[in-house]
Structure 1
């Protein structure tokens, strides 16, 4: 959903045997501009927010910058404030609604996109299949996090935004866009960060045998470092499960 202050310009031109017929076979364009708003790409429940907090702590303890970067980057995409927003829709005689321009400009994120909506009756456009390709750019601290997650390309635009290394395809409908592709990309980055976990030391679980006495001794006392490693490994397993991996 998008919230903010918006202005719109709607134009329609058509001809037919009746007003309804002219309306249905019309060509139309809609330009929506917005400012001082918030775009919500996806929502995090309390469990997910707690998982991100735990991920940040685990990343610091493990000295895993990828895990820490993931926990810092995800909140940028839940509620994204913007300074300007533009959406242009154009419907032709084939009844396909094309999206020649979608733009979003915030302090840390820039989004530019184009796409189309499947042909339909004019009064049912919002519920038809959507195909939208989005190019993202990042700025400020977010660049550091996304670079660590290997999500950025090498190019930086004149306005200071650095482009992502691939586009994101949005489907669903205009009324209910499916932004799971963005979350999937972040989850892939999280999996890369998590996959570098340390293997536990075999010696920490082994029962040592004193050959000179000919009998096994008691298991070696676990050190504080061993206990912390186990806690971290358990936390990573929980984080992995939380992200659906």
Structure 2
């Protein structure tokens, strides 16, 4: 199978993944839970949260169910750690996600029949270009560095663990990007470039397979992806650290959605 054919199949899987039920395209609200019990938009019940956890109280007539379809009458409580999320309850065609971000409990509503899902025909992308597949070298830090990072939401700051840097050359320019790492060893390069805000989202990311024993990696910028913020205003997405800004216009990967 040629690299271009494999890329086409990978793109199809990406689009199918975005269009799944209750996926990123289905987000309809993002709300912080109040300290005192109160109402939220789009949902029945009384909601609140404190250091011990989140709580929601419903009447049987509210029609709220657990994610397993069991009717709820009374108070449902959950406690989560920073960065965790869970499917909390359902209300008709609405799935409620509960999570903790920047030390606060939040909920996101996801609509099965959101217009954004129905209108989705795929993410536009730059034409596949093998010139944007480049070798690089991963240089691990002696000790991972935990740093604060901005996000798509002005009211939310997260933390990222940087494990090292990837050095490479792109279009004649030497570049260095700080990387985070997944449990499988793969690296995530979160970056800005000259196409942002014109052809592409404010920032994007590309995933790189785990480095070889000598630190060698291959970066395929054709596989650069948008964060969920490109599709919905109700996302929290980590911004690149200040140094992760490429001089080169990376005309590869995903464009701004239509």
More helix per residue: 1 or 2?
1
TM-score by length of 2: 0.21
With normalisation by structure 1, the TM-score equals 0.22
